């Protein structure tokens, strides 16, 4: 569903469908503005609820620049990530905590070779050691950040078959706003069922 379609479904489920049809999500006021905001909030909170959603996992590769040891995520052609899972050049690079990097490798950018160690700095920049002496191919897997729904045609990163999960979470916000306990119970039960299905489908399997 598009952003507009999710807001329209929320209107239907909330019993507001008898009012004038919603043609756009933009520049709304009153209850329509609240519906738009609730869908945006639900989309954002679901995507932020887990650190390892499969639908947020990405893998990219990029050629390193000779004698450059510091990179912005955009220079490597990737979306701003929330968490790097793996960096690889032939083998996996050792990912350090910033304090460990700062104590052992900071200031050693004159040492060159094939990078074997990396760190994600507090400013989200990537530092490599040693500094690349060739245009090595760096493979990166990471969790990307959530996407905001802004325009009518925007679609959530949540898989399409679970877009109802966003709508029912938004319906819970509407029910709270209206102090409608019955509607809240129905919406929360439906949301719970859909969210459980989403977790089963989109979270890594737990091996015992």
- Which tens digit of pLDDT belongs to each residue from 72-125? 988 888 877 778 888 999 889 999 999 999 999 989 999 999 999 999 998 889
Query: Per-residue confidence at 20, pLDDT binned at 50, 70, 90?
Result: low
Q: What distance separates the 2 farthest-apart alpha carbons in the chain?
A: 70
Count CA within 13 A, CB hemisphere, residue 202.
Answer: 24
Domain boundaries, the chain: 3-52+151-202, 54-144
Count CA within 13 A, CB hemisphere, residue 100.
Answer: 9
CB atoms within 10 A of CB 46: 22
> What six digits make up the tokens of 3?
């952003």
pTM of the model: 0.84
Specify which residues 144 forms β-bridges with.
81
Residue 170 CB burial class (10 angstroms; 0-12, 13-18, ≥19): buried
Query: Per-residue confidence at 17, pLDDT binned at 50, 70, 90?
Result: low
Specify which residues 127 forms β-bridges with.
70, 119
User: Taking a C-beta distance cutoff of 8 angstroms, is the pair 79, 58 a contact?
Assistant: yes
């Amino acid at each position: 569903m598009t952003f507009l379609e999710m807001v329209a479904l929320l209107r239907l489920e909330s019993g507001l469908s008898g009012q004038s049809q919603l043609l756009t999500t933009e520049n709304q006021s009153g209850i329509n503005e609240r519906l738009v905001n609730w869908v945006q909030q639900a989309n954002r909170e679901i995507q932020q609820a887990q650190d390892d959603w499969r639908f947020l996992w990405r893998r990219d590769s990029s050629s390193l620049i000779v004698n450059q040891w510091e990179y912005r995520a955009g220079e490597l052609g990737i979306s701003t990530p929330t968490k790097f899972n793996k960096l690889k050049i032939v083998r996996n690079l050792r990912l350090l905590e910033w304090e460990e990097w700062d104590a052992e490798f900071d200031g050693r950018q004159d040492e060159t070779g094939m990078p074997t160690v990396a760190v994600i700095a507090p400013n989200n920049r990537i530092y490599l050691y040693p500094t690349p002496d060739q245009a090595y191919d760096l493979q990166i897997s990471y969790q990307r950040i959530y996407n905001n729904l802004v325009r009518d045609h925007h679609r959530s990163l949540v898989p399409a078959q679970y877009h109802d999960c966003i709508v029912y979470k938004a319906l819970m916000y509407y029910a709270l706003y209206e102090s409608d306990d019955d509607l809240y119970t129905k919406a929360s039960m439906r949301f719970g069922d859909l969210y459980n299905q989403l977790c089963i489908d989109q979270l890594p399997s737990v091996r015992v």
